[in-house]
Amino acid sequence: MANKFPDWLRRPWASGSDFGLTKDIVEDLKLHTVCQSAHCPNIGECWAKGTATLMVLGNTCTRNCTFCSVDSGKPVFDDPEEPQNVAQAVKRMRLKHAVVTTVVRDDLPDGGAQHIADTIRAIHEVNPGTTVEILVSDFAGDRDAIKTVLDAEPEIFCHNIETVERLYPSVRDRRFTYRSALSVLEMARELSPRTIVKSALMLGMSETVYDVKATLADLHEAGCEAVCIGQYLRPTQQQAQVKDYVHPEQFQAYEELAYAMGFQHAVCSPFVRSSYKSEEILDTDFARERLGLNTTNAT
């Protein structure tokens, strides 16, 4: 267990008028954010810049991973207006790149895929020119559900591997498996060649350098083109403890390794999350060429 909190992981408290404006938009449209539900350490910085990662299909997850503070249980959420409300939030925040995630909904026949697809289409319709990054669950490996999401044409499809294979049994809900996560990325790459495929993992749960290298190799082989690696931070006392704090220099080494392995985009540092500064990928030649973006889109 890691006891001493290092200086490089200290962040200012969330405050300021712009932070309040973002909060007002979210509350006015009755939306959920992973920023709040997951106790993200970047909420102060991101909300002060007028951006938030919106979370659809409610605030209750049907799975229970040991690292995640999103409530687990039987969902009661049902809001057919949510896709349009998300689109309006994106418009009011003036986002050029919208990141939308979701809780796992094993209780729904399609895992919520159609609702997610409706949200992507609503964002594009209300906000022409805005790119959409969707962060989804594994849909229990349902290829049709993954296709439903991809048919809505998100610019970036993200499914997080979260941790290394050795730690899956202790970190993730038993219904998740390492190999099924890789298969989701493989299906996405096959079903939609234009879409950028992305994943992320967290460090600090006793993984080794060898574990991380093996995971990056598996992700790249599965067709993943963009990867994010950040430090796991315990959201509340109910989640798994941090085993170690990874030094920023080691994160830099992982980023260099990812590029050397052939990833088109890699961001690795302690505060990195899959949605943190995710719009930066649009500044790359790779993304501009793949998505047909011009410099106006990428700002």
3-state secondary structure of 112: coil
What pLDDT is stored for residue 94 in this prediction?
A: 87
Domain membership of residue 267 (yes or no) is yes
Domain membership of residue 299 (yes or no) is no
| Residue 131: half-sphere exposure toward Cβ, Cα within 13 Å | 24
Task: Quote the tokens at residue 182.
Answer: 């890789």
CA distances from 149 to 5, 34, 144, 257, 293 (A): 40, 19, 9, 31, 21
Q: Which residues pair with 32 in a beta bridge?
A: 55
What pLDDT is stored for residue 297 in this prediction?
A: 46
The Cα–Cα gap between 168 and 254 comes to 20
What pLDDT is stored for residue 261 in this prediction?
A: 97
Containing structural domain, residue 276: 10-291
- In angstroms, how far is CA 132 from the centroid of its own chain? 12
The Cα–Cα gap between 211 and 163 comes to 9
Domain membership of residue 184 (yes or no) is yes
Q: Which of 34, 41, 39, 67 is nearest to 205 (CA)?
A: 67
Q: Which amino acid belongs to residue 70?
A: V
What pLDDT is stored for residue 13 in this prediction?
A: 55
What is the pairing mode between strands 54-56 and 32-33? antiparallel
Domain membership of residue 296 (yes or no) is no
Number of domain units in the chain = 1
Domain membership of residue 115 (yes or no) is yes
Task: Quote the tokens at residue 185.
Answer: 């990325």
Confirm if 286 and 249 have CB atoms less than 8 A apart: no
The Cα–Cα gap between 66 and 236 comes to 11
Confirm if 162 and 126 have CB atoms less than 8 A apart: no
3-state secondary structure of 196: strand
- In angstroms, how far is CA 174 from the centroid of its own chain? 20
Under DSSP, the state recorded for 206 is S
What pLDDT is stored for residue 117 in this prediction?
A: 97
Domain membership of residue 3 (yes or no) is no
Under DSSP, the state recorded for 6 is P
What pLDDT is stored for residue 76 in this prediction?
A: 84
Angle between helices 113-126 and 143-151 (to 10 degrees): 10
The Cα–Cα gap between 158 and 196 comes to 8
Domain membership of residue 1 (yes or no) is no
The Cα–Cα gap between 293 and 279 comes to 13
Task: Quote the tokens at residue 279.
Answer: 């719009």
Domain membership of residue 297 (yes or no) is no
Q: Which of 178, 236, 180, 181 is nearest to 207 (CA)?
A: 178
Return the CATH number at 274.
3.20.20.70
What pLDDT is stored for residue 236 in this prediction?
A: 78
pLDDT in tens, the chain (299 residues): 665 777 766 665 555 555 566 667 767 777 666 555 545 554 555 555 556 678 899 889 999 888 777 888 998 877 889 999 999 989 988 888 999 999 999 999 999 999 999 999 999 999 999 999 999 999 999 999 999 999 999 999 999 999 999 999 999 989 999 999 999 999 999 999 999 999 999 999 999 999 999 999 999 999 999 999 999 888 678 888 899 999 999 999 999 999 999 999 999 988 887 777 778 889 899 999 999 987 554 44
End-to-end, the C-alpha distance of the chain in Å comes to: 41
Long-range interactions of 285-291: CB distance < 8 A, separation 24+: 286/225, 287/196, 290/194, 290/196, 291/131, 291/155, 291/194, 291/196
Q: Which residues pair with 132 in a beta bridge?
A: 98
What pLDDT is stored for residue 39 in this prediction?
A: 56
